[in-house]
C-alpha cells in the first residue's frame, strides 16, 4: 500500500484499528503499529497512527450549561463550558459562579482570555499573536532559565550568576504587578545587561 494519498491512507489506518480501539480505549499508537505490521505486513510511521487518535479525540465542541446552587444561604448558578476527551468523558474547560443565568454573565465567561504556554518553538512566537491577538503567550520557565544560563556563560562569577538567577525566578513567578516591578528593579540594580536581556526575551508580567 502506498502512502502517496495521505487522506486515503489515514482512513485505511482508522478502519484497521477502530475495532480494537473500541474494545481497548487505551490502545497505544505503538501497539497499533505493531499489530498492523503483524496483520498486514505494512510498516507505517508513528505519526500516521497517532493522527487518528488526535483527529478523533480532539473535537472542536464546547457544551454550555448551568446548574443552580442549592444552598440555604447562597443563591446563584454555576455556568460551565465542558468538552469531551478521547474516551467520551466530559471535562470542564472553564466555569464561573454568578448570581443568575444572563447575557452579561455568559458573555463574561465566554470572553475570558486564553494564556498559551510554550517553549517558544519555531514559529510559535509569531503564530500565536497573529491568530490570537488578544491573548497572552507565556513561556516555560525552564527554557527561559536555560537561555539565561547560556547568555551568562563565562560572563559572571558563580555567586553573582546565582543571585541573578534568583531574581529572574522572582520576575517569572511574580503574582502582582508590584512584585514584578520590584524584581525588575532588583535585576537592574545588579546588572543593566541582565535587565535588557529580560526585556528582549519578553519576560513580561
For the CA atoms of the chain, what is the radius of gyration?
25
pLDDT of residue 132: 82
- Higher-confidence position of 61 and 205: 61
pLDDT for res 5: 46
- Quick one: which of 21, 103, 12 has its CA closest to 66? 103
Share of the chain above pLDDT 70, in %: 85
Within the chain, strands assigned E span 63-68, 77-84, 90-98, 115-118, 136-139
- Give just the sign of the alpha carbon dihedral 49, 52, 53, 55: positive
The pLDDT of residue 48 = 56
Q: What is the pLDDT of residue 2?
A: 43
Per-domain boundaries in the chain? 6-57, 63-112, 115-205
pLDDT value, residue 1: 46
User: Residue 47: what pLDDT?
Assistant: 59
Q: pLDDT tens digit string along 57-69?
A: 666 778 888 888 8
DSSP 184-205: HHHHHHH-HHHHHHHHHTT---
Phi, psi of 109 (to 5 degrees): -65, -45
List, for residues 87-140, the tens digit of each pLDDT value. Answer: 778 888 888 888 888 888 888 877 777 788 888 777 888 888 888 888 888 888
Residue 111: Cβ-neighbour burial (10 angstroms; 0-12, 13-18, 19+): exposed
**Exposure letters 85-110 (e unless 16+ CB within 10 A, then b):** eeeeeeeeeeebebeeeeeebbeebe
Amino acid at each position: 500500500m502506498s502512502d502517496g494519498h495521505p487522506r486515503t491512507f489515514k482512513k485505511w489506518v482508522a478502519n484497521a484499528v477502530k475495532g480494537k480501539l473500541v474494545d481497548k480505549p487505551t490502545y497505544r499508537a505503538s501497539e497499533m503499529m505493531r499489530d498492523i505490521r503483524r496483520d498486514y505486513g505494512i510498516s507505517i510511521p508513528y505519526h500516521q497512527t497517532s493522527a487518528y487518535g488526535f483527529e478523533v479525540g480532539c473535537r472542536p465542541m464546547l457544551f454550555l450549561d448551568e446548574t443552580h446552587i442549592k444552598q440555604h444561604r447562597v443563591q446563584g448558578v454555576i455556568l460551565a463550558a465542558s468538552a469531551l476527551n478521547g474516551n467520551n468523558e466530559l471535562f470542564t474547560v472553564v466555569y464561573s459562579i454568578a448570581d443568575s443565568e444572563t447575557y452579561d454573565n455568559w458573555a463574561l465567561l465566554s470572553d475570558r482570555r486564553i494564556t498559551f504556554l510554550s517553549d517558544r518553538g519555531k514559529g510559535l512566537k509569531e503564530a500565536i499573536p497573529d491568530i490570537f491577538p488578544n491573548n497572552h503567550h507565556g513561556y516555560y520557565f525552564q527554557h527561559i532559565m536555560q537561555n539565561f544560563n547560556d547568555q551568562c556563560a563565562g560572563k559572571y562569577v558563580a555567586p553573582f550568576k546565582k543571585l541573578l538567577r534568583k531574581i529572574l525566578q522572582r520576575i517569572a513567578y511574580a503574582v502582582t504587578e508590584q512584585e514584578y516591578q520590584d524584581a525588575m528593579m532588583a535585576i537592574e540594580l545588579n546588572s543593566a545587561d541582565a535587565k535588557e536581556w529580560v526585556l528582549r526575551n519578553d519576560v513580561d508580567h
